[in-house]
Amino acid sequence: ETGVTQTPRHLVMGMTNKKSLKCEQHLGHNAMYWYKQSAKKPLELMFVYNFKEQTENNSVPSRFSPECPNSSHLFLHLHTLQPEDSALYLCASSQDWDDTGWPQHFGDGTRLSIL
């Protein structure tokens, strides 16, 4: 148990569907992250939120829309996705984000398949 819970664990959707991924952390951390992990590619950072404020958007297409209503919850809203968006989407949290160095705690991810 990492303290970071992601739901659903698996999601299959058509290209015209709208769905949301949910992440919740029970660690009292201030920063939350969305990553995309595709086969044979390095982990890609998508979004970072610090104290509910978006700090980073790594040139992610607008069909991915993040939402952070409070420091414990993070959502990723999906609409009109493409087949190349099929991947494992990982959520993580860390105590802080400065250059001190903070370990990130990951959920087990949502395996997304686009038909």
106 binds another protein (CB under 8 A): yes
90 binds another protein (CB under 8 A): yes
Whether the ω angle into residue 8 lies within 30 degrees of 0, i.e. cis, is yes
* Residue 28-47 contact track with another protein, rule CB under 8 A, x = bound: -----x------xxxx-x--
11 binds another protein (CB under 8 A): no
Q: Which residues contact 78 (CB under 8 A, 6 or more apart)?
A: 13, 17, 18, 19, 20, 21, 63, 64, 65, 85, 112
48 binds another protein (CB under 8 A): yes
Binding site for another protein (CB under 8 A): 2, 4, 6, 33, 40-43, 45, 48, 50, 55-58, 90, 92, 97-101, 103-109, 111
